[in-house]
Amino acid sequence: MVVGDESAMIGRVTGILLEKQPPSVLVDVQGVGYELEASMTTFYQLPECGENITLHTHLVVREDAQLLYGFYSLSERQMFRNLIKISGVGPKLALTILSGMSAENFTRCIVEEDSKALTKLPGVGKKTAERLVIELKDRLEKDDSIKLVGTATPAERKASPVNDAVSALISLGYKAPQASQMIRDIDVEDKTTEEIIRAALQTSMDGR
């Protein structure tokens, strides 16, 4: 079933997980396939395809599209909503932030005013990082639900093709050549798609 809320119109999706190819998830809800975009933090917690799943959602309505974003926890969705309220931070960048850094570490950077660490995230420049700190610090210090967001745990899943990881990095905002180079810079043997993406993002951050 789909349960709506006033702020997002579609607040939760419960159904059968059909596909998961970062950053996209397809959930069958009583015969209707809902396509959602999700962060890598959520991907690490997804069950195997064919199993039941509940995702908390946020719907973005534009003139040319209606985009549905899915989150494993309510607190991650709240972090996403806080991020997209910041000037210059859209849904795509918000997902990139939640993919490249755990919500706990992100909260720590904001509270400790460590804007330099935030600039290591793809798409976050100095001005954006400083804006994030200024506009989110008081809010995150007072929001215990966000502080309790768990860090992403390694997915114990079957290995996915490296091409899926490259496609996911492109979806997160990287150019195709850059995404391919990021994958070449890491050891992909015996890694799942999610682990490859996390390693690539970490390598990119460390190299800056």
Q: Are residues 95 and 66 in the same domain?
A: no
Q: Are residues 81 and 141 in the same domain?
A: yes
- pLDDT tens track for 176-205: 667 777 887 788 777 777 888 888 888 777
Residue 3 pLDDT class (50, 70, 90 cuts): very low
pLDDT (mean) for 86-94:
88
Q: Please check whether residue 54 is in contact with residue 113, taking contact to mean a CB–CB distance below 8 angstroms.
A: no
- Within 10 Å of residue 69's Cβ, how many Cβ atoms? 26
Q: Measured between alpha carbons, how far is residue 112 from residues 40, 133, 164 in Å?
A: 24, 9, 35
Q: Please check whether residue 56 is in contact with residue 66, taking contact to mean a CB–CB distance below 8 angstroms.
A: no
The pLDDT score that the predictor gives to residue 11 is: 87
Q: What is the 3-state secondary structure (H, E, C) of the chain?
A: CEECCCCCCCCEEEEEEEEEECCEEEEEECCEEEEEECCHHHHCCCCCCCCEEEEEEEEEECCCCEEEEEECCHHHHHHHHHHHCCCCCCHHHHHHHHHHCCHHHHHHHHHCCCHHHHCCCCCCCHHHHHHHHHHHHHHHHHCHHHHCCCCCCCCCCCCCCHHHHHHHHHHCCCCHHHHHHHHHCCCCCCCCHHHHHHHHHHHHHHCC
Domain of 173, in residue numbers: 162-203
Q: Are residues 62 and 79 in the same domain?
A: no
Q: Are residues 143 and 100 in the same domain?
A: yes
36-62 burial, b if ≥16 CB within 10 A, otherwise e?
bbbbbbbbbbbeeeeeebebbbbbeee
The pLDDT score that the predictor gives to residue 207 is: 59
The pLDDT score that the predictor gives to residue 138 is: 78
Q: Are residues 85 and 142 in the same domain?
A: yes
Q: Specify the number of domains making up the chain.
A: 3
The pLDDT score that the predictor gives to residue 170 is: 75
Residue ending a domain, choose from 102, 117, 147: 147
Q: Are residues 12 and 40 in the same domain?
A: yes
pLDDT (mean) for 141-161:
43
CA distance 13 to 153: 23
Tell me phi and psi for residue 71, to 5 degrees.
-140, 140
Structure-model confidence comparison of residues 96 and 174, the more confident one: 96
Residue 155 lies in a domain: no
Lowest mean pLDDT among 93-102, 109-118, 151-160: 151-160
Residue 157 lies in a domain: no
